[in-house]
Structure 1
Amino acid sequence: MSETDTVYISESKTGIWREASEFPIPNRAMNFGDGLFETMVFDGDKIRFFDFHLDRLRLGMDTLKIEGYSPAFAKLEDRIKDKFAGQRLRVRWNVFRSGAGKFTPENNDSVQTLHLQDLSPVPLVKQQASFSEQIALYPYPWSSCKTLNALQYVLAAQEKKERGLDELILMDYKGKVAEASMANIFWRRGKKVFTPALECGCIAGVGRRAILEKIPRLVTQGVFGSNELLSADQVWVSNATGISYLEKINSLEFSTEAWEPLEGIFD
């Protein structure tokens, strides 16, 4: 199964999903990145944290003024289960504004697409990380949403590859820790856990929310400099696919032993 040959499309006016090998061109997703996406894990029976994904998607559609969210969105899990029960899949769910137009939309109806792939496990440990030298994040009203305009993460992925790193840590425009290249970041000193607040421009990650709800009394959200991160006992990054512990940031080493309070969150 590949992301290009297992694709489905649905328009808000009909609500009917159909297989599709191509999309109308031009579209606002391609022209302007005018939409949102959710990357989800289907474990063969259910979509992990599906309610969290729905909440974030609904908030994102409200923020971008894209219409068409309905209770039918919650039925997506059953649709996938009916066709792919028993398979572990990475599900990319795009929701973008329909029509063409220029910057001013012709309408605010939505189009949805699904891209399905076999799920690859997240690495338990990422050996080498460093701070980005090229990317700084800004806290726009939509920064916490996963928008289709994600050039900062594309460029971060390129920088990570060029520098031979397993993970890249992104700072905000004030030089404060924001997130990782494709995940939120946490660190621990003793039993105290820290993670950047959304005001630093990071994504409101589904994995982030799962951790915050599992250990709420242990986590402090705030604005932190790199020195506060580097003084940690342990550092990890997380998204909907799971947790990866960072072994080294530059030359500093950190514990990669699984921390018991986090166990079971991503099962």
Structure 2
Amino acid sequence: MTEFAINDRLPNYGDGLFTTMLVNNGRIALFAGHVARLQHNAQRLGIALNTEHLQHEMRQQARQLGDGTLKLLVSAGAGGRGYKRDPASMPGLHFSGSAYPAHYRQWQAAGIGMGLSTVTLARQPALAGLKHTNRLEQVLIKQAMPDQVDDVLVCDTQGMLIEASAANVFWRIGQRWFTPDLSYSGVAGVMREFVLAQFAANGVLCEIGQYASGTLAQASNVFICNALMQMVPVHTLQLNHQTYRFPIDDVLSLQRQWQPAFQDEYDTF
């Protein structure tokens, strides 16, 4: 069990990063993506990560876990005066493992129903895209989520669609796919990066921009994604007192089509 010092900055201020990884047979899926995001996020927050040590610890923990979900918390360290960090403090790596969420397999195969959250995300460009450990907005989103939906879409305070409660979102209108711009809020997921790379590799247009939630009323297909659930089709969306239904076969086809590429993204030690 992970224990933090009383003056550790992660539990005191949410001063840190985290990532949650899928592990099969001791190997981490999207390994390079997780490492790259941790490096990038740490640089933006001014946390000095040793990449070689990081990769060694990730691999060791994955081998010990074998199969399941591996979560890594990266603390900015301990000490400092109030909010100001101690420049001599070293970052800490804290791992925990758990079983893979069984309902994700059902979601992948049958799709989910979604609503629109009544909680909105603040705009903060300095933190936008980062998977930092200050997650009170997401706690409030989950608390406010109606029981009759599987997940919710979330907008920012300007009414622009950003993401799901813990996943990124893509939708198709005509022959083009769309996903929200994350320049002001939201988390840039490693599975989102994989999806964007697959679209580009296959010559499929995917536009990144700012869109109101009502845009999805025009969609022919919708899916959400993260590193654990991978791609999950959305079959129903409750939006502005109306119900929109989407076929899921095209998303299931993309799942099958991209599965070899996803397997190639597992760590090879």
2:130 paired with 1:149 = no
1:156 Cα deviation after fit? 0.8
Between Structure 1 and Structure 2, which shows a larger proportion of helix residues?
Answer: 2
Structure 1 residues 262, 188: closer, same or farther in 2, change over 3 A? farther
CA contact (8 A) 1:135 1:155 kept: no
2:191 paired with 1:207 = yes
207, 215, 235: which is aligned to 1:247?
235
Between Structure 1 and Structure 2, which shows a larger proportion of strand residues?
Answer: 1
207, 218, 222: which is aligned to 2:209?
222
1:158 paired residue number: 143
Distance 1:190 1:88 in 2: 39
Structure 2: unaligned runs, 5 residues or longer: 264-269
2:153 paired with 1:169 = yes
TM-score normalised to structure 1 length = 0.85
CA contact (8 A) 2:130 2:187 kept: yes
Secondary structure, counterpart of 1:208 in structure 2: helix
Distance 2:218 2:184 in 1: 20
2:14 paired residue number: 33
Secondary structure, counterpart of 2:11 in structure 1: helix
The code of the aligned residue for 1:41 comes to L
The two structures, once aligned, show a CA RMSD in angstroms of 1.9
Measured against aligned partners, the alpha-carbon deviations of 1:41-66 in whole angstroms (never above 9, x if no partner) come to 11114101111111111111111111
Measured against aligned partners, the alpha-carbon deviations of 1:226-260 in whole angstroms (never above 9, x if no partner) come to 22222101111000011111111111111122532
- Larger RCO (alpha carbons 8 Å, 6+ apart): 2
The code of the aligned residue for 1:25 comes to I
CA contact (8 A) 2:14 2:132 kept: yes
**Number of matched pairs:** 245
1:106 paired residue number: 86
Distance 1:238 1:82 in 2: 25
Distance 1:193 1:151 in 2: 30
Give the 4+ runs in structure 1 shifted more than 6 A: none
Judge which range, 118-127 or 184-193, deviates more.
Answer: 118-127
Secondary structure, counterpart of 2:247 in structure 1: coil
Distance 2:116 2:39 in 1: 32
CA contact (8 A) 1:128 1:247 kept: yes
TM-score normalised to structure 2 length = 0.84
Q: Superposition pairs for residues 82-101 of structure 1, below 5 Å?
A: 82-84=63-65, 87-101=66-80
Distance 1:136 1:77 in 2: 31
Distance 1:190 1:133 in 2: 29
229, 254, 261: which is aligned to 2:254?
261
1:69 Cα deviation after fit? 2.4
